[in-house]
């Protein structure tokens, strides 16, 4: 859209303005002043838009945007902090390592509404009870962020995303006059919020993968403010927020409405992680009773070890901000991948240490995290403990 705007301006200057360079420069300065120093009219509105989750993995938690509407100036624009450039140098490597810059973009509202409609995603608008001066501050802040030197930022899933940025914009514009309900959504952890919304949107396997990748920081309580990293939580917080006006304390939201209707889609549910890993634990039990499965052990512990090396890389070689201090390394241990391939005595001791650590970890994890049946991790751990115990019994301790 920005490129199209630049092309349109270039065509305008080339086709319709005088060829005298000085005259063109004067026209350009006048146009720039009118385009970038606009003052919103009293009929303007600032709205928070909340877009429901989509089918794609990246849209699992929904999206937030700010809409600036001013019929007097012909403005109806959405501002988003969730964009990135697929053509950026080293895009995929930066994405994996957590060094990819996101950016703010703006587009005509109708274009984004058409896109979200095609995606079958509900658009909820909350018109905000802001003074004209506060609306102007929101508008100027967003326009300033659109400048090339300001538009990029280092995305962090928990603390700096498309939703938290809009929370900050509202707080900057309204200052101390904006009062959020500090008891709302204050007692859950980041991991619990992820579990909740991933499962509500039928992404149980994605939730399993995220539970593996995120570290101990995700088990901290978000508090009322950081819970707004989820767009739906931001919408609920804005619903309950108050704002101090010349009339006293009033609701921040003066109008809430759905801008479209979506079709109800029955999602095809495959085998959930709970069922899969429960069957895995049962299979490990029967393999143990039959006293077989040595070849399977090589496969199982190789997979666990490789997973551990990946988690270790996410901890030390990336900057996602959420993958450090990952306790899953105690059961998906890098130690077991070389150990399962070795016939030397050290590998036998390694599995004894691993088995004991795994058992202690499982007890501590159930106590700390709760018996999490949502993603089936407990059943996975039970299956691994069973198989590790069988391997320790079979191998014994032998000298080389």
Does 47 map to a domain?
A: yes
- Do 33 and 53 lie in one domain? The reply is no
**What's 70's DSSP letter?**
E
| 85 neighbors 61 (Cβ within 8 angstroms) | no
Confidence of residue 364 (pLDDT cuts 50, 70, 90): confident
pLDDT value of position 346 = 87
- Do 299 and 355 lie in one domain? The reply is yes
Does 207 map to a domain?
A: no
Does 308 map to a domain?
A: yes
Domain span at 9: 1-37
| 156 neighbors 85 (Cβ within 8 angstroms) | no
pLDDT value of position 280 = 95
Does 267 map to a domain?
A: no
pLDDT over 70 for what percent of the chain?
87
Structure tokens at 125: 């608008």
- Do 133 and 179 lie in one domain? The reply is yes
Q: Which of 165-179, 227-241, 348-362 has the lowest mean pLDDT?
A: 348-362
Task: Tell me how far apart the alpha carbons of residues 286 and 60 are, in angstroms, rounded to a whole number.
Answer: 37
- Do 339 and 248 lie in one domain? The reply is no
Confidence of residue 5 (pLDDT cuts 50, 70, 90): very low
Q: Between residues 146 and 88, which one has the greater pLDDT?
A: 146
**What's 100's DSSP letter?**
P
Does 203 map to a domain?
A: no
**Across all residues in the chain, what is the average pLDDT?**
86
- Do 305 and 238 lie in one domain? The reply is no
pLDDT value of position 119 = 94
pLDDT value of position 376 = 81
Buried b (16+ CB within 10 A) or exposed e, 97-107: ebebebbbbbb
Confidence of residue 34 (pLDDT cuts 50, 70, 90): very low
- Do 278 and 325 lie in one domain? The reply is yes
Encode pLDDT of 281-311 as tens digits: 999 999 888 877 778 889 999 999 999 999 9
**Last residue in a domain, options 233, 258, 283:** 258
pLDDT over 90 for what percent of the chain?
60
Mean pLDDT over 222-238 rounds to: 97
* Total number of domains constituting the chain: 3
- Do 295 and 168 lie in one domain? The reply is no
- Do 308 and 245 lie in one domain? The reply is no
| 376 neighbors 274 (Cβ within 8 angstroms) | yes
Does 247 map to a domain?
A: yes
For residue 3, which phi and psi values (nearest 5 degrees)?
-65, -40
pLDDT value of position 370 = 61
- Do 102 and 157 lie in one domain? The reply is yes
Q: Which of 15-19, 60-64, 263-267, 343-347 has the lowest mean pLDDT?
A: 15-19
- Do 249 and 327 lie in one domain? The reply is no
- Do 238 and 109 lie in one domain? The reply is yes
With a CB cutoff of 8 Å and minimum separation 6, the contacts of 206 are 57, 60, 198
- Whole-prediction pTM: 0.86
- Do 300 and 178 lie in one domain? The reply is no
Does 197 map to a domain?
A: no
Query: Does the pLDDT of residue 238 top 60, yes or no?
Result: yes
Enumerate the H helices of the chain as residue ranges.
Answer: 2-16, 21-36, 91-97, 109-118, 132-145, 164-174, 190-200, 204-213, 223-226, 231-240, 273-290, 294-316, 336-341, 345-369, 377-395
Encode pLDDT of 166-195 as tens digits: 999 999 999 999 999 999 999 999 999 999
Does 209 map to a domain?
A: no
């Amino acid at each position: 859209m920005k490129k199209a705007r630049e092309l349109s301006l270039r065509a305008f200057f080339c086709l319709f303005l005088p060829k005298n360079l000085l005259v063109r420069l004067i026209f350009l300065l006048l146009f720039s002043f009118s385009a970038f120093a606009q003052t919103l009219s009293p009929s303007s509105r600032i709205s928070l838009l909340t877009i429901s989750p989509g089918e794609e993995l990246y849209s699992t938690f929904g999206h937030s945007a700010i809409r600036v509407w001013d019929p007097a100036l012909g403005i109806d624009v959405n501002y988003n902090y969730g964009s990135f450039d697929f053509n950026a140098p080293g895009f995929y490597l930066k994405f994996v390592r957590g060094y990819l810059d996101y950016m703010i973009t703006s587009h005509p509202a109708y274009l984004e509404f058409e896109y979200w409609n095609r995606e079958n995603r509900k658009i909820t608008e909350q018109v905000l009870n802001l003074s004209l001066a506060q609306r102007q501050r929101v508008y100027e802040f967003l326009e300033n962020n659109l400048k090339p030197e300001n538009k990029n930022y280092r995305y962090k899933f928990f603390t700096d995303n498309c939703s938290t940025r809009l929370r900050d914009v509202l707080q900057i514009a309204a200052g101390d006059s904006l009062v959020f309900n500090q008891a709302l959504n204050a007692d859950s952890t980041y991991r619990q919020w992820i579990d909740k919304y991933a499962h509500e949107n039928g992404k149980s396997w994605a939730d399993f993968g995220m539970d593996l990748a995120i570290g101990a920081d995700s088990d901290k309580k978000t508090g009322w403010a950081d819970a707004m990293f989820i767009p739906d939580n931001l919408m609920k917080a804005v619903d309950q927020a108050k704002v101090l006006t010349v009339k006293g304390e009033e609701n921040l939201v003066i109008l809430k409405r759905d801008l479209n209707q979506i079709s109800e889609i029955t999602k095809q549910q495959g085998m959930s992680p709970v069922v899969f890993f429960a069957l895995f634990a049962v299979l490990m039990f029967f393999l143990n009773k039959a006293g077989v499965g040595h070849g399977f052990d090589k496969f199982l512990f190789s997979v666990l070890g490789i997973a551990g090396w990946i988690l270790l890389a996410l901890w030390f070689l990336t900057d996602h901000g959420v993958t450090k201090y990952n306790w899953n390394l105690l059961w998906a241990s890098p130690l077991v991948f070389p150990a399962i391939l070795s016939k030397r005595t050290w590998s036998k001791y390694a599995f004894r240490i691993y088995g004991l650590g795994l058992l202690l970890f499982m007890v501590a994890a159930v106590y700390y995290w709760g018996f999490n049946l949502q993603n089936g991790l407990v059943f996975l751990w039970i299956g691994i403990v069973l198989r590790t115990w069988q391997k320790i019994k079979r191998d014994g301790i032998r000298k080389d």
